[in-house]
Structure 1
Amino acid sequence: MPKPKHSPHDSCPICNGLYKSLTTKLPPHLAKSGQFQFLTNCSLLTTVIYLTLSVFGLAPLWLYNLSSNLEFNVIVSYWSMALIFPQMVGEAEVDRNLFMDLQVHAFPYLYLIIDSQPSLGLFNSSMLTCLYVLIYWFYFEWECGKHLNDGVSGYPYPFLKGKNLVSRFWCMFIFAFIGCLNWFVLNLRRLM
């Protein structure tokens, strides 16, 4: 019996999570805007870039802080909504896989918090996070917006359905704010 083929990402749960997330077939209303309409995938890609650079000792401190803040937002936002208001993050026709959820919504942050790198100052950390989320917001507004009139496509998260531009901006502001709160977690960790 032939052995199953393994790819390099199989040994890294975070890389495997990114691979599976990027190769998952999207439902018709999300297909045209692609995998990077999801903040989780953008955050995870940033984290994988940080991890890859850190293997070679080339990861800048700002990238650790940015990845950590983004993954803090993902773990707090996703699990809060998934456990309390599951209809806000997933639709009925989407199959949920707990291990994959952990790979993309928990393991990255857990690894980063254990990695225990120093924190930037609050201002720099917050500005990086807010700038990243703002660029993400522009990207998904542009990417999703160009397909909205096809009668099928929509926004990446159920809680954005029926919201106007200003409401979607405030949702992204909340995500950025949650990410910025990680600065306090990183600094509390250093006191322990």
Structure 2
Amino acid sequence: MLLTIFRILNLVLLGNGLYKSLSTKLPPHLVKSGHFQFLTNCSLLTTLIYLFFATFGFQPNWLYNLSSNLEFNVIFSYWTMALVFPKMVAEGEVDRDLFMDLQVHAFPYLYLIIDSQPSLSIMKSWVLTCLYVFIYWVYFESECGKHVPDGVSGYPYPFLKGKGMVERFGCMAIFAFIACMNWFVLNLRNQLF
């Protein structure tokens, strides 16, 4: 019963975070590609789908592991860049809301690490994660790429400005690698607890 209440509270908290993120006005160079050009929003939606199923007693282990890996990348990459290299994450015209930042960039992973589930094999975990990030990259390239020629639109992260497709793929590969490292975190957590 307590676990169900915990999941419902997180469903509300994280759902509100996604709602606020999707309601945020995008700067002119990002408007045409929409809110799902951000890996953070895609990861959070995946986590919310898992959380919805888990709340009602259906806990697909593969979806838990995928969500956890993606959110590990989000919490690690976002906060590293935001705290150490802030110009890599957002440009000056973006208003920052710390609580919303926590709702979309920290609380999802904290929920997943607490709501402990068994981990997949390293091969299944890594293939699933890399496949998701690859599909995201294809979507990202097609959605953003079709708007770039208008002279206003661009890519969602400042560190992607001026990079070619291969370099952007390399950035996504780094995100996939970071996400895959969560397999070790999950296994360590499962051994300790």
Q: TM-score range by the shorter chain?
A: over 0.9
Question: Is the partner of 2:93 in helix, strand or coil?
Answer: coil
Question: Is the partner of 1:12 in helix, strand or coil?
Answer: helix
Mapping for residues 4-153 of structure 1, pairs under 5 Å: 12-153=12-153
Cα deviation code 1:44-93 (max 9, x no counterpart): 00000000010111231000000000000000000000000000001100
Q: Distance in 2 between matches of 1:30 and 1:175?
A: 21
- Can you give the 5+ residue segments of structure 2 that lack an aligned partner in the other structure? 1-7
- Can you give the 5+ residue segments of structure 1 that lack an aligned partner in the other structure? 1-7
CA RMSD of aligned residues (A): 1.4
Letter in 1 for 2:178: I
TM-score (norm 1): 0.94
1:4 equivalent in structure 2: none
Question: Is the partner of 1:29 in helix, strand or coil?
Answer: coil
Cα deviation code 1:20-53 (max 9, x no counterpart): 0111111100000000000000000000000001
Q: Is the 8 A contact 1:9 1:15 kept in 2?
A: no
Question: Is the partner of 1:48 in helix, strand or coil?
Answer: helix
Q: Distance in 1 between matches of 2:135 and 2:173?
A: 12
Which consecutive segments of 4 or more residues in structure 1 shift more than 2 A? 8-11
Question: Is the partner of 1:57 in helix, strand or coil?
Answer: coil
- Compute the displacement of 1:13 (Å): 1.5
2:3 equivalent in structure 1: none
Q: Distance in 2 between matches of 1:125 and 1:187?
A: 12
Cα deviation code 1:140-168 (max 9, x no counterpart): 10000100111100001000000011100
Q: Distance in 1 between matches of 2:115 and 2:156?
A: 31
TM-score (norm 2): 0.93
Q: Percent identity?
A: 75
Q: Distance in 1 between matches of 2:191 and 2:150?
A: 53
Could you say if the C-alpha distance between residues 10 and 126 of structure 1 is closer, same or farther in structure 2, counting changes exceeding 3 Å?
A: closer
